[in-house]
Structure 1
Amino acid sequence: MVTVIEDEEERDGTRVIRRKILRTDDSQFPSGYRYALHYGYTDDRGTILRYDNENRTPGRHEQHTPDDIKEIDFPGMLELRDRFLDEITDLP
């Protein structure tokens, strides 16, 4: 079963903020959430900041920046969403 918690997209010129959070009982997502929190460009410049759970490795949560992809500890869905929203206010 999947329940949509958030499915939002905001565009401002060449930038986009997407928040997609699904509540799921799929064993691929042991946290109970499948999500992508994305701040980036609408053209080929790509990601500025994104948090998501990696689809090929159950339980793996990642932070993507222009320079790196790193595994992170999952603090909880609301905490991570709030962290993302706070962090993007300080980014160009």
Structure 2
Amino acid sequence: MADESDVVKEQTTYKDGMVRSITMRPTESDTYPCGWKYRLHFGDTNGNTILRYDNSHELEKGHERHTTDGVEIIDFPGMMVLHDRFLREVDEWWEQNE
């Protein structure tokens, strides 16, 4: 079982109403065979999603990437690789929307 000190929870709310929220928790639960329960979210304070990676339904659906275009199933590359990909994609969004 994961120690609470192993859980990463970070939320940043920007002055323009955007939110970046990261939750990553190592787990030995059979519900999450990859060993992680995670949600990497970027959107606005009205609840709209621009980008989100999660495995909320890993056994049924696998790992998901949510965008304004819909949901796609992705291969899980490892937690830190996915975390870094998420941060890079959020940075790219900012660059394109400034």
The two structures have a TM-score, normalised by structure 2, of 0.85
CA distance in 2, matches of 1:85, 1:34: 18
* Residue deviations 1:14-73 (CA, integer Å, cap 9, x gap): 1000000000000000000000000000014x0000000032635710000012101000
Partner SS, residue 88 of structure 2: helix
**Paired residue total:** 91
- 1:69 maps to a residue whose letter is V
The residue number in structure 2 matching 1:74 is 76
Once the two structures are superposed, the pairs formed by residues 77-92 of structure 1 within 5 Å of their partners are 77-91=79-93, 92=97
CA distance in 1, matches of 2:46, 2:61: 30
Is the contact between residue 37 and residue 56 of structure 2 (CA under 8 Å) also seen in structure 1? no
Quote the RMSD (CA, aligned, Å).
1.6
More strand by percentage = 1
| Structure with larger Rg | 2
User: Which of 39, 43, 53 lines up with 1:40 in the alignment?
Assistant: 43
User: Which of 13, 18, 21 lines up with 1:15 in the alignment?
Assistant: 18
Structure 2: runs of 5 or more not aligned = none
The two structures have a TM-score, normalised by structure 1, of 0.90
The residue number in structure 2 matching 1:29 is 32
Shift of 1:79: 0.2
- 1:9 maps to a residue whose letter is Q
The residue number in structure 2 matching 1:60 is 62
CA distance in 2, matches of 1:56, 1:74: 10
More helix by percentage = 2
